[in-house]
Homo-oligomer: A and B are copies of this chain.
């Protein structure tokens, strides 16, 4: 029976309440990992330490993540484990937990290991790693998605209850769509970046993968706290949910401008989700995505690549052979970018931000396809850059515009592949997105075959000293 124990927070808590031991849960996690036969998911397998941590938990207590197994993308420090960022030559033994990891472990969560990624978090495909490439949990012909490939696959396979990824240009959302799970990309600055290897420090955030939105939200609630050591960490509204307001105006790409690269199944699937949104009372309005797409192009074609170059430092000059060839090719472009180029692009971004703000006037949030279409491993082998850029169509602009995002499964497409949309809101609106995602999410949870738990009923009443953060715009 325990072989089928769903790794969701409600199911794990019920099992613990019924007397199950964390050691058994951790053993089950590794049994599942071994059963996948996929040695690309984890770069560092921490089973001995995890079992030890499970034993050390002792009797159950009321900590919110007591005995909950999770994995950490290998560009985030976990004390006592190597951090590689998928570059073996870069590896160092982390002396301390990243700020967010420390909060999760203090809440009782148990780290199973460090997950594979596109090297230095550069990519949306998950195949730019010198380690074995993790297999997409649903279809090995499809890329696992990146850069948080291992983190997403571990959750989609039911190995970890949740995982940490990072998200600069979509790395916390694209793999969620490709593996049929939830990808929560918080507002920039909500989660501390202390102990994370930067990709683009001004645009990075840690992100959360889970099988369901309520689980992802609970993890965010534990992880979020102000960190005085991180200059990019910001005070944020307390992560508290309130029900979806009765009147909600949602901006979407119009049918004529929707980018699905010719995938009619994907286009139909997106329209079906919009129909569902209307069914639950939302007003769906076409929005001009022109400025959003121009912002997306700025990130990948503009001088922000130099932020990745800055993160790699001397390695790019002194030991380029230690880098993945595609990563090297991309990041080298940043060496020749001048500060003048960057200032000019930042001016253009300021102008585009204003245009996007205008496009969002009166709109509560956006709803977009998380990915335009699925991408195969074969395609990426033939062209490592083009399909990768395509995957970022609806994710690239988000952090440059200081928006939050939540990629949520919406059942199956007509061809049986997972449907996924991303809800996008203004900075600080994370709770609004989560409340709607809980109503919207449906269908299989990754590759697990487990039944989706019923959505929690949200109360409109705020507790003492708390305010509901969901305000109808």
Residue positions of A touching B, CB distance < 8 A:
201-202, 228, 230-232, 303, 306-307, 309-310, 334-335, 337-344, 346-347, 349-354, 358
Point out the residues of chain B lying under 8 angstroms from A230, CB to CB.
Answer: 354
Note all chain B residues with C-beta closer than 8 A to A334. 339-340
Interchain CB contact under 8 A, B347 and A201: yes
A202 and B202 CA atoms in complex are apart in Å by: 16
Contact of A340 among B202, B306, B346, B353 (CB under 8 A): B306
Report the separation of the CA atoms of residues A306 and B345 in the bound assembly, to the nearest whole angstrom.
13
Instruction: Name which of A232, A306, A339, A358 has the most chain B CB atoms within 10 A of its CB.
Output: A339
The chain B residue with its CB closest to the CB of A233 is B354
A346 — which chain B residues lie within 8 A by C-beta? Answer: 202
Q: Are B232 and A350 in contact (CB under 8 A)?
A: yes
Q: Which of A309, A335, A342, A344 has the most CB of B within 10 A?
A: A342
Q: Which one of B343, B349, B351, B352 contacts A342 once the chains associate, using CB atoms below 8 Å?
A: B343
- Interchain CB contact under 8 A, A350 and B310: no
Contact of A337 among B335, B339, B358 (CB under 8 A): B339
The 9 A-B pairs of least Cβ separation, nearest first, read A231-B350, A306-B339, A231-B351, A337-B339, A339-B342, A310-B340, A310-B343, A231-B354, A303-B339
19 interchain pairs (CB within 8 A)? A201-B347, A202-B343, A202-B346, A228-B354, A231-B349, A231-B350, A231-B352, A303-B339, A306-B338, A306-B339, A307-B339, A309-B339, A309-B340, A310-B343, A310-B344, A335-B340, A337-B340, A339-B341, A342-B343
Question: Which residues of B are found within 8 Å of A231, using beta-carbon distances?
Answer: 347, 349-354
Set of chain B residues within 8 Å of A354, measured between Cβ atoms: 228, 230-231
Q: A358 to B306, Cβ gap below 8 A?
A: no
Complex CA gap A340/B201 in Å reads: 12
- A472 to B232 CA separation, bound complex (whole angstroms): 27
Chain B residue contacts of A337, Cβ below 8 A: 338-340
Collect the chain B residues with CB atoms within 8 Å of residue A351's CB: 231
A301 to chain B, nearest CB (A): 14
Of the listed residues A344, A349, A358, the one surrounded by the most CB atoms of chain B closer than 10 A to its CB is A344
Chain B residues, CB < 8 A from A307: 339, 343
Residue of B201, B228, B339, B350 touching A339 (CB-CB under 8 A): B339
A358 CA / B227 CA spacing, docked (Å): 12
Residues on the B chain within 8 Å of A228, using CB: 354, 358
Select from chain B the residue with minimum beta-carbon distance to A232: B350
Apart from A228-B354, A231-B351, A337-B340, what 9 extra A-B contacts exist at CB < 8 Å?
Answer: A201-B343, A231-B349, A306-B338, A306-B343, A307-B343, A309-B340, A310-B340, A335-B340, A342-B342
Q: Least Cβ distance of A351 to chain B in Å?
A: 4
Cβ contacts under 8 Å, A340 to chain B: 306, 309-310, 334-335, 337
Write out the residue numbers on chain B whose beta carbons fall within 8 Å of the beta carbon of A344.
310
A455 CA to B74 CA, complexed, in Å: 63
Determine the chain B residues whose CB is within 8 A of the CB of A201 once the complex forms.
343, 347
Residue in B339, B350, B353 whose beta carbon sits within 8 Å of that of A338 in the complex: B339
Instruction: State A343–B203 Cα separation when bound (angstroms).
Output: 11
Return chain B residues, CB-CB under 8 Å to A303.
339
Compute how far the CA of A347 lies from the CA of B352 in the bound complex, rounded to whole angstroms: 23
CA distance A310 to B303 in the complex (A): 14
**Chain B min CB distance to A42 (Å):** 30
Question: Would you give the shortest CB distance from A85 to chain B, in whole angstroms?
Answer: 18
The distance from the CB of A99 to the nearest CB of chain B, in whole angstroms, is 14
Give min CB distance, A374 to chain B, whole Å. 34
Give CA–CA (A335, B347) in the complex, Å. 18
How far does the alpha carbon of A346 sit from the alpha carbon of B354 in the complex, in Å? 22
